[in-house]
Chain A
């Protein structure tokens, strides 16, 4: 099994093929993916918002301007996949768009994707489109809502594509204000508390990030913010490298979130409206994980090596803490939120392993968890829309009245607990196998997290969907075609990237091509 997986993730290109130059693709494609939502936001700004018809038009515009980037991202994904199958793709950055921006400081507008970031671009464009669909029934302040969603889209896809530290920071920050307002205006009862808490944590993260970037810029003395150049040439004293590693780590750990900086997450999730939760868990957390791999490992491999035990400890504590906390929640959404903390802990575990396989697993987990937890939050939202409660205790026997929804729930829950055949399994398996050789005890403890997630998910399913149905829920009906449609789409993705050999292999190879340089620099096997 291990051998099979290793074979799966390590393509063996024929020697001749690696030397052929690959076309890197037009840079404008990526810039379109990032900036089209801005055009959408401007169009919506110009639209009137007086009648229901106007609202329908606004929603359609938002759908179009998230669907087109999704299609473009898929185009990039599949053309890269074809190149991988033909062994013509070597893992370099593709679709690079590079324009001088602030000459005096060597800052560039430079975007591009490699095997690590391309899947995340696909993930984010997918989830933004789904989030727009999931917001179709929104009635309140529709115009502002979709403008904020589209602005958020720019920031997130920008983070995954930026190849310049200053640009990375700019995109990182774009997310702050829209997310704050989305929680604070459209959130639940305690929205103000949750929004401010989110804001304070995020501002702290940003301050650390900016400080780290500026120190890196000054101390490297290269006069550039270019990520690739700095990763290859920056010669820093060891102490400074360690300090910078922890500064970046602090920022990404807040976003991921890692124990003990995760406390903003359950509040933000519970109060945020469903589509915003989907985005928050599905993509925004991935920004933290992506930063960990791209910057903490990619820029500071020696520090990542030195502190791998600390990272492991934080990861394992996160896995167990999140898992146990999820076990005792009564609010379904809070439970899913804590399960996110737990599953993001696996990313840290994989990162601490620093082997090719464990890093592959961490990157795979980012993608898998994005789709799976996105689905879970959508499902929580669908239950809440119909029952107006998320309390597990109050629900029961829903499967009798909502069979389709129950099936979707079971599938998503099984995927989330890491059942083979779904995307999450591959990720977690790679993480455990890859890390076990390095940190035996830690990995064993982390594996216990899978047991925990089986416990809280199955127990929740049993209490909510099975057993005797309560009188109150006799009149419930299954969700409509739109909801079942996007749910089916999401779960199909979860299944495809976990079971279909061709699809899974393509993604695994793509990620491996992106992660291999990181693993090589980190000195792992």
Chain B
């Protein structure tokens, strides 16, 4: 550990320091039993410090870009800073800022733990950032747990509410089980190769040549363990309950950041340790992807709660995103596939954050997350309704919204890699998904609802929504620009 090491860890260190600072500030500024009036300044200070810290962390991240061309993996090869890691860290920081903005008003109900909530967002993001750089089993697991444990707490943050507590418990149980499965897989892998460094494991496996049954088992366990984080079959059952029970900003954060971090790690493992086994896991992932998207979409059809609906939609999207992984099986398409996947994560993240931000605004006014509560929103609050409508249409993949480009970009490499049948399944699924996404649009614009005053949108929420609006429309015109960044990131992950 020397000065250079600290330099490369700067973004994470800044974020962790901010997280601690936010919690300590909260300790001094908000007491246990103070009335709401005196807690407002605490919230403001905590949120401001958090955002400044995140922006600082982002700035230090940008400092690292020039040196990231040659991947740097000191700390005994456990921590790598390359274009890939930086791309994903930038995404995670962006998502964290939006989540904090979204949660600004909602945190009022978390009194007297408002600043802890913000601190946890930062802590979870730091965990996710470590995941993006992890290249070693122990670090991989520790960073994954850093993210997960922060999330377990956040899900149950409305501790007075039964649904939130239930969601927290479910999330914990599923999380622990999937963690165990992942650990088991990693342990077998270690047993077979005697290495913990992912690249070294990959080299050992390539040298061994044949895939033993134990190895196949380990592969399935590892991918299965990650499927909890990315909300794919078979560890997807927690999604609807947790999405509905958790406070909405937390739901958004789980839907976006947790999934992004999960994919960050999964891609790293698949392209290093498990790269020699492409043919073994290729078909497994293809089948899981087909089941995941179908289960997500079919179940979403019958949902009446918008949060649950978005939960199932998140499962479906986990399936589409997996198409990008399949391109790894073909050296010709691997970079394009991963680039498309990374671009999809960006698009999916911003679109979902916009949807949840709009939904939260509506929920705050109506007190319900049911579809019927959205009735008449188009008349009542045109802007919020428009954002929610655009984001669900974007999730459907209707051009010219950005979601369409994200989908086409993952479809193309998958076809080139020889998975045309799966792309066909995905196309059918996309068409199917239009039915339930349009139900949201219909509720807002066509169903008669109670008249009411326009929804109140605070400045922080307005900022979060503005980012969403940018993501939904103008981003499409810059698809080429962002996709080039994603391509650079994808090239880095294959640099050995």
Contact surface of A with B, Cβ cutoff 8 Å: 100-105, 141, 143-144, 166, 169-171, 173-174, 176-177, 181, 184-185, 192, 199, 203, 207, 210-211, 214, 217-218
Contacts and interface: CB of A to CB of B under 8 A. Distances in A.
A100 B479 CA distance: 11
A144 B408 CA distance: 30
Contact of A103 (B411, B416, B427, B484): B484
Given A174-B400, A177-B393, A102 B405 contact: yes
Contacts of A210: 427
A218 B419 CA distance: 13
A277 to B, nearest CB: 20
B382 A203 contact: no
A166 B404 CA distance: 11
A336 B477 CA distance: 40
Contacts of B336: 104
A101 B409 CA distance: 13
A143 B382 contact: yes
B427 to A, nearest CB: 7
Given A170-B404, A185-B446, A144 B382 contact: yes
Nearest to A171: B400
Contact of A211 (B398, B416, B427, B441): B427
The DSSP consensus for interface residues of chain A is: helix
B415 interface: yes
A100 B481 CA distance: 10
B144 interface: no
Given A184-B445, A199-B438, A218-B415, 9 more contacts: A103-B483, A103-B484, A104-B339, A104-B409, A170-B404, A177-B441, A192-B446, A207-B431, A214-B412
A177 B398 contact: yes
A210 B431 CA distance: 12
Interface residues of B, number: 31
6 A-B pairs with least C-beta separation: A170-B399, A173-B399, A102-B480, A170-B400, A102-B479, A101-B480
A170 B405 CA distance: 10
Contact of B431 (A176, A192, A203): A203
B119 interface: no
Contacts of B378: 144
A181 B399 CA distance: 16
Given A170-B404, A185-B446, A218-B416, A102 B483 contact: yes
Interface in B393-446: 393, 398-400, 404-405, 408-409, 411-412, 415-416, 427, 431, 434, 438, 441-442, 445-446
A184 B389 CA distance: 15
B487 interface: yes
Contacts of A185: 445-446
Q: Which of A100, A171, A199, A203 has the most CB of B within 10 A?
A: A203
A286 to B, nearest CB: 20
B379 interface: yes
Contacts of B477: 101
Interface in B323-370: 336, 339
B400 A103 contact: no
B487 to A, nearest CB: 6
Contacts of B434: 203
23 contacts: A101-B477, A102-B405, A104-B339, A104-B480, A104-B483, A105-B412, A141-B379, A144-B378, A169-B399, A170-B399, A171-B400, A173-B399, A173-B404, A176-B398, A177-B393, A177-B441, A184-B445, A184-B446, A207-B427, A207-B431, A211-B427, A214-B408, A218-B416
Nearest to A141: B379
Contact of B479 (A101, A173, A181): A101
A45 to B, nearest CB: 8
Nearest to A199: B438
Interface of B: 336, 339, 378-379, 382, 393, 398-400, 404-405, 408-409, 411-412, 415-416, 427, 431, 434, 438, 441-442, 445-446, 477, 479-480, 483-484, 487
B415 A104 contact: no
Contacts of B408: 166, 214
Contacts of A214: 408, 411-412, 415
B406 to A, nearest CB: 11
Contact of B398 (A104, A105, A173, A181): A173
Contacts of B441: 177
B400 A173 contact: yes
A72 to B, nearest CB: 21
Contacts of B487: 104
A460 B477 CA distance: 50
Nearest to B430: A207
Nearest to A158: B400
Contacts of A184: 442, 445-446
Nearest to A207: B431
Contacts of A169: 399
A103 B382 CA distance: 36
Contact of B480 (A103, A171, A177, A192): A103
A192 B409 CA distance: 34
A100 B480 contact: yes
A359 B344 CA distance: 43
A218 B379 CA distance: 44
A26 to B, nearest CB: 20
A109 B409 CA distance: 16
Contacts of A143: 382
A272 B135 CA distance: 60
A214 B427 CA distance: 12
Contacts of A218: 412, 415-416
A169 B484 CA distance: 23
Nearest to A195: B446
A203 B339 CA distance: 29
A169 B407 CA distance: 14
A155 to B, nearest CB: 8
Contacts of B382: 143-144
A177 B399 CA distance: 10
Contacts of A207: 427, 431
Contacts of A173: 398-400, 404
Nearest to B393: A177
A217 B416 CA distance: 11
B475 to A, nearest CB: 12
B64 to A, nearest CB: 25
A12 B476 CA distance: 45
Nearest to A38: B473
Contacts of A181: 445
A301 to B, nearest CB: 27
Contacts of A177: 393, 398, 441
A187 to B, nearest CB: 10
Nearest to A191: B446
Nearest to B479: A102
Nearest to A109: B477
B495 to A, nearest CB: 18
A170 B479 CA distance: 13
Nearest to A143: B382
Nearest to A172: B399
A53 B265 CA distance: 58
Contacts of B339: 104
A211 B415 CA distance: 12
A291 B411 CA distance: 25
A408 to B, nearest CB: 35
Contacts of B398: 173, 176-177
A440 B408 CA distance: 45
Contacts of B442: 184
A102 B446 CA distance: 36
A174 B398 CA distance: 8
